[in-house]
Homo-oligomer: A and B are copies of this chain.
Amino acid sequence: MGTMAFDAIETPFEKTDKIIGGSATYVAYAASNFVQPVQQISIVGYDFPQEELKQLQKRGVLTDGVIIVPDKKSFFWSGRYHLDMNSRDTLITDLNVLADFDPVVPEIYQGSEFLMLGNLVPAIQQKVIDQFKVRPKLIVMDTMNFWIESAWEDLKKVFTMVDVLLVNDSEARQITGEYSLVKAAKKILKMGPKFLIVKKGEHGALLFHENEVFFAPALPLEDVFDPTGAGDTFAGGFIGHLAKTQDISFENMKTAIIVGSAMASFCVEKFGVTRLREITKDDIDTRLQEFVHLVNFDISLV
């Protein structure tokens, strides 16, 4: 569940017109490499191309839960990246259809075992959870600074309903007031989620669970072309791997984070979902091996 939308992106090197974006789009592109069907819950306007929905359907993405509003435009976001390709300014946010989003979980989605809640109004995230007659085996949620500031009480409630929380490092600090991510993680794990993933962009990601911690690096790349959607692609690879293997242990989540990092490393290579459309299972396997080489070492004790 998340947005399906248009983005217009400026980087220090290039610029796009409106291209396909949205958190649920990236999640679906990434996850469908590992598990099918992916059952999409979102909302789009009359301007969202049928062709795009068809492309997703071909990858095993069900769109029964995607509301199409005939007289409104799709959500539109425009942003400009700074030279570090990490920070960005939002230029335009046109909510359009998103303003009235009242998600409905289709009957055929009931029984879903893995639920990914993309970044959206916390109350909407909760509404989706509430509609499942049987609680999914694993609920993963993303959020952002905007909701931490503007909907904190609602957000805290959703925290108690999920298994895995995905935030970036500055959000983890914002939620807890702790600069140390280890301290921040301890506090967040008391708020509900049993697992916490702290995304650090080019600096990788940390997975916290009880007293354990796992670190996954980002792949060092020559060029980051467009970071838009990297976090959602990471989430899609993460939950896709878990759904494929049906194993939600801490050990398997480590692998899932590496899979997510691998998917994110593709995402940033071209604008929007372009690269995610191209890659094959062989490409993914090759990249996973690069992660093995990147962090693998032999240790002999002192």
Interface, chain A (partner B; CB < 8 A) = 33-34, 83-85, 179-183, 200, 203-204, 206, 212-217, 220-224, 245, 251, 254-255, 257-258, 281, 284-285, 288-289, 291-302
Closest A-B pairs by Cβ, 8 of them: A254-B297, A203-B203, A215-B217, A285-B301, A182-B222, A281-B302, A295-B295, A284-B302
Whether B288 contacts A214 by the Cβ 8 Å rule is: no
Q: Which residues of B contact A288 (CB under 8 A)?
A: 299, 301-302
* Nearest-CB residue, chain B, relative to A245: B300
A255 with B298: CB separation less than 8 A: yes
**Chain B residues near A302 (CB-CB < 8 A):** 33-34, 281, 284-285, 288
In the complex, A284 Cα to B222 Cα: how many Å? 35
Complex contact A292–B285 (CB within 8 A): no
Q: Which of B179, B200, B292 contacts A299 (CB 8 A)?
A: B292
Q: Is the CB of B33 within 8 A of A179?
A: no
Contacts of A251 in B (CB 8 A): 298
Name the residue on B nearest A297 (C-beta).
B254
Please give, as numbers and ranges, the residues of chain B lying within 8 Å of A203 by CB-CB distance.
200, 203-204
Q: State the copy count for this chain.
A: 2
Residues of B within 8 A of A296 (CB): 254
B223:A258 contact, CB within 8 angstroms: no
On chain B, the residues within 8 Å of A224 by CB distance are: 180
Sample (5) of A-B pairs whose CB atoms are under 8 Å apart: A251-B298, A255-B298, A255-B299, A255-B300, A285-B302
- Tell me which residues across on chain B come within 8 A of A285, comparing CB atoms: 301-302
Determine if B212 and A293 form an interchain contact, defined as CB atoms under 8 angstroms apart: yes
Expressed in whole angstroms, the minimum distance between the Cβ of A287 and any Cβ of chain B is 10
CA of A200 to CA of B217 in the docked complex: distance in angstroms? Answer: 12
The distance in angstroms between the C-alpha atoms of A123 and B29, with both chains bound, is 55
Complex CA–CA separation, A254 to B298 (angstroms): 8
Please state if B294 and A215 are interface contacts (CB–CB under 8 Å): yes
Interface centre among A182, A200, A300 (most CB of B within 10 A): A300
Residue of B nearest to A34 (CB): B302
| Known contacts A214-B295, A288-B302; A180/B255 CB under 8 A | no
Q: Which residue of the partner chain B has the closest CB to A220?
A: B182
Contact B299 A221 (CB under 8 A): no
Q: Which residue of B has the minimal Cβ distance to A295? A: B295
Residues of B within 8 A of A181 (CB): 220
